[in-house]
Amino acid sequence: MLIKSKVLKRFLKRKSSLVGGIIIIIFILVAIFGPYLTSRNPLDIDLRNTYQKPNRDNWLGTDNLGRDTLTRLIYGARITLIISFTSVFLGTLVGLILGVIAGYYGGLIDNILMRTTDILLAFPGLLLAIAIVAILGSGIMNTMLAIAFYSIPYIARIVRGVVISIKGLEYIQACEVIGCSNFITIINHIIPNSMSQVIVNTTLNLGTAILTSSALSFLGLGVQPPHPEWGAMLSTARDVMRTTPIAALIPGVAITLVVLSFSLVGDGLRDALDPRLKNN
Amino acid sequence: MVKGNRYIYLTLLILSVFFLISVSSLAQSAKSKDVLVYGTSTDAATLDPHVQNDSHSEQIVAMLYNTLVKFEPDGKIVPDLAENWSVSEDNLTWTFKLKKGVKFHNGKEMTANDVKGTYDRFLAEDADATRLLAKNLTQMFKSVDVIDDYTVSITTKSPYGPMLSLLSNRTLAIMDPDVIAKYGASTGDFVESSIGTGAFKIVEWKKDEEIVVERFEDYFDEKAKLQKVIIRTIPEAASRVIALETGEIDMTNQFPAEDLQRLKNNPNITVRMTPSVGARLFRFGCNNPIISNTLVRRAIIYAIDRQAIIDGMFPGMAYPSTCSLTPVVWGYTNLGVIDQDLEKSKSLLAEAGYPNGFKTKIVTTPRYEKGVELAEVLSAQLSMVGIDAEIEVLEWSVLLPLWMGVTPEVFDQPIFIMGAGTSMMDADGGLRGLYTTTDTGTNERNYGFYSNAEVDKLIFAAMQETNPDKRLELYKRALEILYLEDPMGIMLFDTYNRTASVSSLQGVETNGVGMTYFERIYFE
């Protein structure tokens, strides 16, 4: 408990992480309570009101089919949240398991797993995601799978490194001496002690996941129309960048803000959880 | 000392940069006014007339090759390679007198043998019909015979009314058979294998970047006014418009609806729009159990508000369809705009047994202008009568194989986007094959498996009819069925051919097919 409050204190001391944290909380709240914030339907088309500038009825203007941009932004937050959290959770879970197995058991199994991740890491992340979507087809579900898949090698690699460094420590040797099974050692000691690294990377990954899902939708491979998704909104607004720049600006700023916030929070967490600082 | 040297180098560097800038700006101002830079969205896929199947390739084919007869901008058919022609009593044999002194770009003279050699390429039994589009179009040809060096005759199996329209099609352009023999399947794939008789000859082709053509000095007809045309590929619509506004290109044929007003207001730019053969529609996949019901299809066409779509998405760039063909196509009949009538639509649905609507799917592609947005609007409008249509967006390269030569068991597109427009500007090209029943088990060019016995009968009767009035009557009846009674698709709107160019550019003429006559263009 003492340690945790210290971590929190250290985290809050960094102003940038604090700001990032607040933005993320707002983002999550908007995503969860979105439908209560607006009475409009994000799919309501009004072809007589396309590309309106912000006004009293449409606070952030309307898009190419006259749909309210604010409403779409709010509903888009929900899709973005679901995609990023689900995919990162899935990716982290699998990556964690593979990383622990590779790091703890070592030998041939480690070799096979790590060479496989090397191969996957050789692909640029987005390219890998595009390839997966091309095979599975587009849509929310497949976008999540694609992002989850490409984040596996990153997590697996980090976890393996941490596990190897923990494995040599006395308390693990103590576990072996008192006859703990491998399973118990892993569950009770290895995983909890590598968690801080995992948390930091998961946070940073959330930002990347949002960026990737937006990129996929921007390219028309991710979330399918008419669902509001920030990347897709940006993509359609691109055609009118010169006449109605605000249409592209709004989803662009939203993506940037949220991704930046996750990076800031991730950095803040890394510093706060750094074991070297624990005793300061 | 070392430090001093550095300054000298720095000064030299800055000077050389200035020098380069001034040289390049000099080059800019010295740009002679007989070179046209033309911006297009897509590079030509092939310059083989018999194979090309998209307007971008066709435009360049039109610059490089000639046909026996050709369309004027107003749709009138005039001599091109042929000087005059006659048709036999039984309407089966067409005899063409060719112009003398016509040269290919390689210097060879074009004679009747070349016409026969060209046509025999796709008339051959073993010609690959899926690659050589021309084969399908010339099903009714029996033989092509050389009478003397400058006379050639075409014999058909049955009388064929729109023969001259068919021969005006760039797909039947005359090539050098020696070139075909030499390059085979790679004919039209690079500069050396793209030899025609046209007003321009190709000199350079950097794939997906630019094609350079130059005036052909030995052209048999009036020589091109421009010395050189550079066709530059600029995929992004917004970049193309910017390029035009900044003078990087002189002309383009495609720009987004959002830019229309701004371009029109720009005193340095002239926008030209002419009615085209092109129409935007969503076709029905009649192999689908629900969509196969005529009542359902009729219900759907009344659920759509076409004017709202045009006003909201294509203001000033389209007008509502009034038939399954556009007004510039021979055989067109004005059957009126289908207005949105939700009550009628709902009652038709109820009559069909779907009072609460049904679930279906709209397949679309971003390749067509605002293809995805159109599907979104259609889906929203269909939801007003209870039809729940999900949208599937496919890339062009994925979509094409799903359309062509598939069986009804495989084809899964109840409602799908389509661009229609016949290059021969005749109802025969716009209807036969597209809406006539196929007997091979696959859809061939009738992607949506449309089948109506009466329509089949009418279209084939009209094809063989040589009396224009009687042909018109037959098409009128066929169109009534296709457009209203047993709809083949949701006709949305007809489009304009549009070009935007710098105002100093004159003589820009575009025909209904969308082909611009580049040889007539000049700078003021």
Q: Identify the contact set of chain B against chain A, taking CB-CB distances under 8 A.
A: 237-238, 241-242, 256, 258-259, 262, 305, 308-309, 311-313, 366, 370, 372-373, 375-377, 379-380, 391-393, 395
Closest Cα in chain A to B370: A236
Looking at CATH, the fold of the domain delimited by A62-273 is given as: MetI-like fold (1.10.3720)
How is chain A split into domains, by residue range?
A: 62-273
pLDDT reported for residue A277? 55
- B313 vs A242: CB contact, 8 Å cut-off? no
- A243 vs B259: CB contact, 8 Å cut-off? yes
Give the bridge partners for B330, in sequence order: B426
- A220 vs B372: CB contact, 8 Å cut-off? yes
Contact indicator for B291, B414 with CB cutoff of 8 Å: yes
A65 closest CB neighbour out of B241, B256, B377: B377
Helix A69-105 to helix A140-167 angle (10° resolution) is: 40
CA of A6 vs chain B CAs: smallest distance (Å): 51
A241 closest CB neighbour out of B238, B308, B373: B238
Instruction: Take residue A194 and report the two structure tokens written for it.
Output: 């590598």
Looking at 3.30.70.20, 1.10.10.10, 3.60.150.10, 3.10.105.10, the CATH number of the domain B275-496 comes to: 3.10.105.10
CA of B312 vs chain A CAs: smallest distance (Å): 5
- A48 vs B308: CB contact, 8 Å cut-off? yes
Tell me the average pLDDT of chain A: 87
Mutating which of A43, A44, A46, A47 best tests the B interface, going by the most B Cβ atoms within 10 A?
A47
**Contacts B368 to A, Cβ<8 Å:** none
For A100, A161, B294, B523, the CA distances from A275, given in Å and listed in that order, are 20, 15, 72, 74
Closest Cα in chain B to A222: B393
Residue B446 CA to its chain's centroid (Å): 17
A 136-175 → B contacts, CB under 8 A: 138
**Contacts A65 to B, Cβ<8 Å:** 312-313, 373, 376-377
Beta B93-98 vs B82-87: how paired, if at all?
A: antiparallel
- B372 vs A50: CB contact, 8 Å cut-off? no
Q: Is A47 on the interface with B (CB under 8 A)?
A: yes
Which SS3 state, helix, strand or coil, does residue B461 take? helix
Is residue B142 exposed (0-12), middle (13-18) or buried (19+ Cβ within 10 Å)?
Answer: middle
Instruction: Take residue B141 and report the two structure tokens written for it.
Output: 């040809």
- B311 vs A242: CB contact, 8 Å cut-off? no
pLDDT reported for residue B29? 46
Residues 6 or more apart from A103 whose CB is under 8 A from it? A110, A159, A160, A161, A162, A163, A164, A167
What is the interface size between A and B, counted as CB pairs within 8 Å?
62
- A51 vs B391: CB contact, 8 Å cut-off? no
CA–CA separation, B132 and B129 (whole Å): 5
A65 closest CB neighbour out of B311, B373, B391: B373
CB atoms within 10 A of CB B19: 10
Instruction: Take residue A87 and report the two structure tokens written for it.
Output: 């995919």
Is residue A148 exposed (0-12), middle (13-18) or buried (19+ Cβ within 10 Å)?
Answer: buried
For B205, B229, B248, B268, the CA distances from B31, given in Å and listed in that order, are 21, 13, 11, 18
**Contacts A243 to B, Cβ<8 Å:** 258-259, 262
CA of B379 vs chain A CAs: smallest distance (Å): 9
H helices of B185-236, in order, are: none
pLDDT reported for residue B23? 55
For A31, A211, B17, the CA distances from A145, given in Å and listed in that order, are 21, 15, 51
First CA to last CA distance, chain B: 58
- Residue A43 clears pLDDT 70, i.e. is over it: yes
CA–CA separation, B325 and B238 (whole Å): 30
A 194-233 → B contacts, CB under 8 A: 220, 224-226
Phi-psi region of A106 (alpha: psi -120 to 50; beta: other; left: phi over 0): left
Helix A140-167 to helix A125-136 angle (10° resolution) is: 130
CA–CA separation, B434 and B423 (whole Å): 13
How do residues A262-279 score in pLDDT, each as one tens digit? Answer: 999 988 888 887 766 554
Beta B251-252 vs B35-40: how paired, if at all?
A: parallel
Q: Is the ipTM beyond the 0.85 threshold?
A: no
Query: φ, ψ for residue A244 (rounded to 5)?
Result: -130, 70
**Contacts B255 to A, Cβ<8 Å:** none
**Contacts B370 to A, Cβ<8 Å:** 64
User: A50: closest CA among A250, A247, A232, A251?
Assistant: A247
- B377 vs A220: CB contact, 8 Å cut-off? no
- List per-residue pLDDT tens for chain B, 524 residues long: 455 566 777 776 676 766 666 555 545 544 558 999 999 988 998 999 998 888 889 999 999 999 999 999 988 999 999 999 999 999 999 999 999 999 999 999 999 999 999 999 989 888 877 678 788 788 899 999 999 999 999 999 999 989 999 999 999 999 999 999 999 889 999 999 999 999 999 999 999 999 999 999 999 999 999 999 999 999 888 889 999 999 999 999 888 888 898 899 999 999 999 999 999 999 999 999 999 999 999 999 999 999 999 998 998 899 999 999 999 999 999 999 999 999 999 999 999 999 999 999 999 998 888 899 999 999 999 999 999 999 998 888 888 888 888 899 999 999 999 998 888 899 998 998 899 998 878 887 899 999 999 999 999 999 999 899 999 999 999 999 999 999 999 999 999 999 999 999 999 999 999 899 999 999 98
Which SS3 state, helix, strand or coil, does residue B408 take? coil
Which amino acid makes up residue B228? K
Contact indicator for B169, B277 with CB cutoff of 8 Å: no
**Contacts B309 to A, Cβ<8 Å:** 47
**Contacts B392 to A, Cβ<8 Å:** 224
- H or E element that contains A5: helix A2-13
- A225 vs B372: CB contact, 8 Å cut-off? yes
Q: Is A240 on the interface with B (CB under 8 A)?
A: yes
Helix count (H) and strand count (E) of chain A?
11, 0
The one-character DSSP state at B48 is -
Contact indicator for A203, A265 with CB cutoff of 8 Å: yes
Tell me, yes or no, if the two domains B64-180 and B275-496 fold the same way: no
pLDDT reported for residue B1? 46
Instruction: Take residue B265 and report the two structure tokens written for it.
Output: 């207001």
Residue A160 CA to its chain's centroid (Å): 21
pLDDT reported for residue A224? 82
Residues 6 or more apart from A106 whose CB is under 8 A from it? A164
CA–CA separation, B63 and B219 (whole Å): 12
B265-294 burial, b for 16+ CB within 10 Å, e for fewer?
ebeebbbbbbbbbbbbbbbbbbbbeebbbe
pLDDT reported for residue A37? 85
Give the bridge partners for B85, in sequence order: B96
Instruction: Take residue B497 and report the two structure tokens written for it.
Output: 């051919």
CA–CA separation, B186 and B204 (whole Å): 16
User: B415: closest CA among B454, B465, B375, B468?
Assistant: B375
CA of B313 vs chain A CAs: smallest distance (Å): 7
How is chain B split into domains, by residue range?
A: 64-180, 275-496
Q: Is A239 on the interface with B (CB under 8 A)?
A: yes
User: B62: closest CA among B522, B524, B523, B513?
Assistant: B513
**Contacts A45 to B, Cβ<8 Å:** 376-377, 380
Token match 């340095």: residue? B268
CA–CA separation, A40 and B102 (whole Å): 68
CATH number for region B64-180 = 3.90.76.10
Closest Cα in chain A to B258: A240
- B366 vs A220: CB contact, 8 Å cut-off? yes
Closest Cα in chain B to A241: B238
CA–CA separation, B63 and B56 (whole Å): 11
CA of B65 vs chain A CAs: smallest distance (Å): 35
**Contacts A229 to B, Cβ<8 Å:** none
A81-A83-A85-A90 Cα dihedral, nearest 10 degrees: 170
Which amino acid makes up residue A4? K
A226 closest CB neighbour out of B241, B312, B391: B391
CA–CA separation, B413 and B286 (whole Å): 9
CA of B423 vs chain A CAs: smallest distance (Å): 29
A 15-44 → B contacts, CB under 8 A: 43-44
Q: Is A64 on the interface with B (CB under 8 A)?
A: yes
Q: What percent of chain A has pLDDT over 90?
A: 36
Kindly report whether the global pTM for this prediction surpasses the value 0.90. no
Closest Cα in chain A to B256: A239
Residues 6 or more apart from A29 whose CB is under 8 A from it? none
